[in-house]
Structure 1
């Protein structure tokens, strides 16, 4: 999976990348009422402009990305000083209030995510094959504190076994996240010409007594 992902980036086969901020982020993030200055975890972040939007609205960002080219392309989008350092196996680049950690999301430990208070998933869950999605949901739950809120944008398409991006139905989203999160289904988009439709979910990390 990781090799395939890196190959796609290096060959420019990144049709999943949007050249604009995702409208669902603009529409629904304010409804989560995440306090300003809360650091937002963005797993498998690519070079998403959504991270710029979050930072511009007062939310520091910690993005995790396996592919170095994605991080370098993101940094090149804007002028600004970039500081670089290495910590616990990750190569970290910081530009303004955005930190990009180059490495495996599953190697991020709770001690490194101590400041995280919210999360945003636009193309993380759907980048993973079925065997990795439950692991992803569990690992995310370990990284964010009780009460942490997040937005999930998922995808379904007619070629259910093809990907990435993979088709993830609503039932599977509920199965993998509901043990540790409260879910609210916000929206389904109409299918496009290729039979793809997005679904948008609000999540909140359950506490020990929930």
Structure 2
């Protein structure tokens, strides 16, 4: 899985990358009520322009990405000085208020997430095969403090058309099964099926359960 992901970036097979901010983020993020200044975790971030939009809303951003090519393209396509440093096992670079950690999301631990207060997932869960999605949901829950909120965007296809990914078909019942043990899950809406792929987008608000909720 990791090798396939790295190959996609090296070979430029990045059809999943959107050349503009995702409209669902612009529409639904304000509904979460995340306070300005709250640091947002973006797992498997690629070079998503959504991170720049979040930064423009006064959110420091911490993106985690396995492919060095994605991170280098992100900073090359941006503006401003880039600072670089290490926090083993991650190589980190910062441009403005966006901090990009190059490495495996599953090696990012709670002591490194001390300032995280929100999260955004547009392309992480749907990039993972079924066996890894449960591990992802559990690891995310470990990193997110009680009361913290996030926005999750998933893709699903009609029954009988769940082709192999990535991106993977993740139906609503699986979203609830994965996250409801640790999050309050609210379905915010869904789009029309895409003519070419047959995928339908769904948007979810997640609030980490705990003493504060």
Question: Taking structure 1 as reference, are residues 31 and 209 closer, same or farther at Cα in structure 2, changes over 3 Å only?
Answer: closer
TM-score, normalised with respect to structure 1: 0.97
Counterpart of 2:189 in structure 1 is 187
Counterpart of 1:140 in structure 2 is 140
Query: Residues 157 and 199 of structure 2 are in contact (CA less than 8 Å); yes or no, is this contact kept in structure 1?
Result: yes
Query: Residues 146 and 212 of structure 2 are in contact (CA less than 8 Å); yes or no, is this contact kept in structure 1?
Result: no
Task: Give the stretch that moved more between structures: 200-209 or 80-89.
Answer: 200-209
Between the two proteins, the alignment pairs up a number of residues equal to 210
Shift of 1:88: 2.1
Shift of 1:79: 2.1
Counterpart of 1:104 in structure 2 is 104
RMSD: 1.1
Query: Residues 147 and 212 of structure 2 are in contact (CA less than 8 Å); yes or no, is this contact kept in structure 1?
Result: no
Deviations 1:10-60 (A, max 9, x none): 111111110000001000100101011000000000000000000011000
Deviations 1:159-183 (A, max 9, x none): 4241111110000000000000001
The answer as to 2:195 corresponding to 1:207 is: no
**Aligned counterparts of 2:207 and 2:118: Cα–Cα separation in 1:** 9
Shift of 1:93: 0.3
**Aligned counterparts of 2:10 and 2:57: Cα–Cα separation in 1:** 31
Structure 1 residue ranges without an equivalent (≥5): none
Counterpart of 2:71 in structure 1 is 71
Counterpart of 1:61 in structure 2 is 61
Query: Residues 190 and 200 of structure 2 are in contact (CA less than 8 Å); yes or no, is this contact kept in structure 1?
Result: yes
Runs of 4+ in 1 over 2 A off after TM superposition: none
Counterpart of 1:163 in structure 2 is 165
**Aligned counterparts of 1:41 and 1:74: Cα–Cα separation in 2:** 16
Match of residue 176, structure 2, among 174, 177, 185:
174
